[in-house]
Amino acid sequence: MTNLERHGAVFVLTLGDDENRFHPDRLSAISAALDEVEAAEGPKAVVTTGAGKFYSNGLDLDFMSANPDSAPTNLADVHALFARVLSFPAPMIAAVQGHAFAAGAMLALAHDLIAMRSDRGYFCLPEVDLGIPFTPGMSALIRSRLPIAVAHEAMTTARRYGGEDAHDVGIAAAIGGEDEILEVAIARADERSAKAGPVLGAIKAGLYGEVIAELTGGQ
């Protein structure tokens, strides 16, 4: 399940060791971990990652279909997580060690940068194949974090980008092998940790103000 460990100034938040879908319990655990980081004093940064095959496979569609009354709240909570990561007052790096699909890929995009494993795992927005349209907030997030031609291809073709391809088109800022990707991400996070604080959060909130408004309904 979700776990938070500290490596010097860098907090490593492991989303889980399964498909890491966004069930309410997991969202609550992620939120609590981010609360802990936000309360910490001094230089700090966050690396999120998974364990095993998946970084995150996105929405918990089984939970949402089995609990239709709770589905809108669950989706709103996912949107709120994206918004929080976009404006988080400390650097956030996604160490994508496995598959990042759908809302899992969007979570990675909300980080300051993505470090992706070069030899295994895909970044993919498969909604066109699943028959599930992007919400306005999701579309705004993707457009804000990717070159428009890349966003168009990713959203309309459901292309699966391996690490090398993701790096070539600007999805991933760094790549590394299985045994090094987490350390690559931690190093990137550590070199930015002194920037943490309310000013960084305000800058990011201003930079992504329109996206955050779409994600949170203007709240």
Q: Are 145 and 155 in contact (CB under 8 A)?
A: no
Task: Please state, in angstroms and rounded to a whole number, the distance separating the CA atoms of residues 173 and 65.
Answer: 35
Q: Which of 127, 180, 183, 210 is catalytic?
A: 127
C-alpha distance from residue 175 to each of 82, 113, 126, 151 (Å)? 23, 11, 22, 20
What would the two tokens of residue 71 be?
A: 């589905």
Burial 161-197 (b: 16+ CB within 10 A, else e): bbbebbbebebbbbbbeeeebbebbbbbbbebbebbe
- For the question of residue 180 being annotated catalytic, the response is no
Catalytic residue set: 127
